Structures are given as structure tokens and as C-alpha cells.
Amino acid sequence: MSIRTTLHGLRIFSEFRFATALSAFNSYQQVRYRRTKHWDPKWKLLRRMKVIEIELPKYNENIEDLSEEELRSRLKEQGLLPTRPWMERQFHISCTGGIFEPYVPPEGDGKISPITAQGAKQKIEFLEKKTKTMMAIRKIRTFEEDFDTTTFCNKAEDTYIKLHELLVTKDKDKLRDIITERAYPEVMHNMQNKTIHWKFIKNVELPRVVHARCTDIITKENIFAQLTVRFHTQQVLAIYDRFGRLMHGSEIVAKDVLEYVVFEKHLANEYGIWRIHEKIIPDWMPSKEPPSLTYKSVIETKPPVEEAAVTTTDKKDAGETAVKSSE
């Protein structure tokens, strides 16, 4: 074999190897495909119509720099109404702030017999004031057709007893259901830092409605009603302070109690209920002695450091006097 033949074979072999490597390189070349294009072009138009371009509001735009016409056009584009120059704040009137036309109890009520001259005078004054009371009760019946004073007095007595029982247990949540918002802070102040023992024994006289009034607030349709109920009962009451010392009353002795309790209801409210609003204290009734305020006694004691300092100064003075005496 000649050298020429050998070189020709090597050249053919190298060309074949290069062609094989090139074909292998072309077979492994990377090809990129579009992944966002849908495989089915049938609904291409509908898919394009599905997207709606909206104009976003300009949050960084300064409204104060716009004129009235520009501001009006901006609000009209956004479908907004122009703001009012005033701000309205809603409020709800659930009770009145006091007693309108308060009942004036006759002097000596519960002690003077109706047979006496003063007792007969009280009966005549009661009949004179009864006209306005009957008109107010008639007004209440326009909102409550089944209203009856006897039935109301029985419910008022249950509410009266329940109020004192809740004062004993200090249940603040249930108190809101039977007393008005005006009476709530007064009741909470009177029961603060106190322990109350109360017990209802019996009725000396049956409770009765002695006064009734109706009034309107702000509008003529917004009507409130107040009924004054006379309670003459026998109770046991004892109040202790925060240190357990007796402040008022006794748990053994029962006393007769005469009270005039005002019940109020928002008649215009369909879901209004009768609640305790206030108690009437007559002017002729003698004022009760206020219970003495109790404080925790603190014994003042000097700190031991000061005592040690005093003793050292005394010793120094004694030493100086001893030296002078020896001289």
C-alpha cells in the first residue's frame, strides 16, 4: 500500500467524522416555542373582546388645583355626587334628661289618715291633678291598646325588686335593661366600693300610679311617657363599706319605705320598654345623715436608718460631755 492511498483514506475518514458530528449538533439544537399563544385559534376574537380596558382614577391629582367645571367633570366620570358643605352626625334619643312636670308628694303621705282634715285635703288635691293624668294615660293607650294601670303596677313592682337584686349582685349588663341611660351613672356611683344586703318582705300598701305625663321631643311624633308609681313597702337594707364596716341600715330590723319611682318609655319606639328613670324625693322629707367616709388607717413609723443616726449623734454628744467633765 502506497503512501498516497493511505493519505486519501485518512482524508475520507476525517470528512465523514466531521459530517457525523455536525449532524449530531444540528439534531440537538435548541428551539424556542411561543407559550402564550392558544393552541386553538377558533375563539381568538372572543378572547380578545373579553379583556376590557378601564381608565384608572388619578390618585395623585390635586383636587384643590382644579376649577369647578373640571371637578364637576371628574366627579361625573366617576359617578360620584358632590360633597355637601356640612356634616351630619346621627344620634339616638333613648330617654329624656329628667322629669317633665314632676309629681309633688303631699306632706305626711303614708302617715296621715284620710279621715283627718289634712288627709281629706290631700284627696281633693289628688282629684284636681287627676285630669292631666287621665289624658296622659289615654295618650299612652293610643300606642298600647291593652295598657292597664293595675297590670302595669304589677310589672313595675317586679322591675323595682329586680333592680335592687341586681344592685346586690352588681350585674352591670342586666342593669341596662331595666334602667335608663340617665339613671345608670347615678346607680353605679351609689354602689361603688359598697356591699349591699337587701330583702323585700311585703307591701304595706299596693303600688299605684299617682302621676302620668307625656311629652314630645324635637318632633311631635317622637313622644315619651313617664309614670310615677307610689311604693309603700317593708324592706331590710344593710350597706357595708369596702372594709366590711356597717355604714347604713341593719340586716335584722325591717323598716317601712315610701318611695315615688318614675318609669319612662319611648312610645314612638316600637320596641320601647318601661324602665326606671328616677326617684322623687319630696322637699318636706328630712334629709338623711350621710354615712361617714371610711379610710384605711396608716400608722406612721420612722425608718430604722433615721433611728440609727439619732442614736449615733446622741453617743457623740455623750462622749464630748464626758471628756469635758474629765478636764
Q: Could you identify the residue written with the cell 385559534? A: 41
Asked if 235 and 249 count as a contact pair (C-beta separation under 8 A), the reply is no
Q: Could you identify the residue written with the cell 341600715? A: 249
Residue 72: what are its φ and ψ, rounded to 5°?
-65, -40
CA-nearest of 191, 188, 228, 222 to 208 is 228
Q: How remote is the C-alpha of 200 from its chain's centroid?
A: 31
User: pLDDT at position 302, please?
Assistant: 66
CA-nearest of 274, 183, 287, 175 to 227 is 274
SS3 of the chain: helix, strand, coil, percent, to 5 = 40, 20, 40
Interatomic CA distance for residues 158 and 136, integer angstroms:
23
CA-nearest of 252, 227, 204, 22 to 140 is 227
User: pLDDT at position 180, please?
Assistant: 92
User: pLDDT at position 131, please?
Assistant: 82
Question: At residue 275, what is the residue type?
Answer: R
Question: At residue 140, what is the residue type?
Answer: I
User: pLDDT at position 324, please?
Assistant: 45
Interatomic CA distance for residues 206 and 157, integer angstroms:
9
User: pLDDT at position 2, please?
Assistant: 54
Q: Beta-carbon neighbour count of residue 180 at 10 Å?
A: 19
Domain 117-280 fold is Nuclear Transport Factor 2; Chain: A, (3.10.450)
User: pLDDT at position 119, please?
Assistant: 62
CA-nearest of 209, 212, 208, 214 to 134 is 212
User: pLDDT at position 75, please?
Assistant: 87
CA distances to 83, 248, 311, 314, 322 from 318, rounded to whole Å, are 90, 58, 11, 6, 6
CA distances to 64, 82, 301 from 78, rounded to whole Å, are 17, 11, 77
Q: Beta-carbon neighbour count of residue 153 at 10 Å?
A: 18
Query: What cell does 119 get?
Result: 288627709
Asked if 178 and 159 count as a contact pair (C-beta separation under 8 A), the reply is yes
pLDDT below 70 — which residues of the chain? 1-34, 110-123, 125-126, 128, 291-298, 302-327
User: pLDDT at position 166, please?
Assistant: 92
User: pLDDT at position 309, please?
Assistant: 47
Q: Is the dihedral of CA 96, 137, 175, 281 positive or negative?
A: positive
Interatomic CA distance for residues 236 and 255, integer angstroms:
6
